[in-house]
Amino acid sequence: MTYLLTPFTLKTSLVNILMLCGLFMLVGCSTNQLSQVEEMRADRELALIALESGRPKSAITIYRKQLLLQPNDTALLLAIGIAYNQLLEFDLALHYLNQAASLLMDEPGVIQGQVLREKGNALQGLGNADGALLDFKKAVYLLPNDAKVLNSLGINYALCKDYDKARTAFTGALANAPENLEYRNNLALAWILDGQPQQGIDVLYSHYLRGSSTSKSRQNLALAFAMKGDVDAAKVIAKQDLTKAELENNIAYYQQLQKSRELKTLQALKALQQVKQ
């Protein structure tokens, strides 16, 4: 049995074909969009790996491309700000972090706290300790248990020679990340710079004995021993990381510290004798 295509059936067939083609086109567009999203996610993961492995320039290349497509992505603006802070290009870091801050103005939360932390780091790098302090305080309010924020706040207080507040912040950072040797070193240094070397030794020495110290912490430990007048102990610790020339320079400095300490002790004894007389 044969059927003739009437104008009506022909029209219906064409409509069905066009609808089917349209469906295929929509499916194609959806697939392409999904592929693009997956590609961007993969690129961002690569950028994070680059950032964490000390290659911020590689991360920035990826972030800049993605910002062309997503200029108001606050997580992306934060990431590129962090990368520029790593490069010590603080003006550029602030450029992106200020954009993120304006977008998050009415949305307090974790990302806003992280943006404020990085803004503070950038301002600190530019020598604006007062501006940095304001941002760090706001960040701590939003992220009270964030070790990175507390450590940055401690550094800012130490730069302003407010060592008591610096130690409080470093202690908070260490409480939230007890295995972090950088925070431990910073806490010890806040004692040493405040003229209390024994407290610094107490923070660092047990880790030194266990072999879990860093080059920075060993040099600070050596400095603390030298400040106490134990130059021999300072030499033993310092020589592990220094060249012969560097060690000689440090020993000369340690000996100056020892002479200064002996002079202060002598002056104090003379003053005490005068009082007794």
pTM of the full predicted structure?
Answer: 0.77
pLDDT averaged over every residue in the chain: 85
For the chain, which domains are there? 40-144 (1.25.40.10), 174-272 (1.25.40)
Quote the pLDDT of residue 5. 47
pLDDT at 39 over 90: no
pLDDT attached to residue 10: 45
The pLDDT tens digits of the residues spanning 56-72 come to: 999 999 989 999 999 99
In this prediction, residue 193 carries a pLDDT of 92
Q: State how far the Cα of 199 lies from the Cα of 196, in Å rounded to an integer.
A: 6
Percent of the chain with pLDDT over 90: 61
Measured distance CA(168)–CA(172) in Å, rounded:
6
User: Taking 80 as the threshold, does the pLDDT of residue 236 lie above it?
Assistant: yes
Q: How many percent of the chain have pLDDT more than 70? A: 81
pLDDT tens per residue across span 245-256: 988 888 888 888
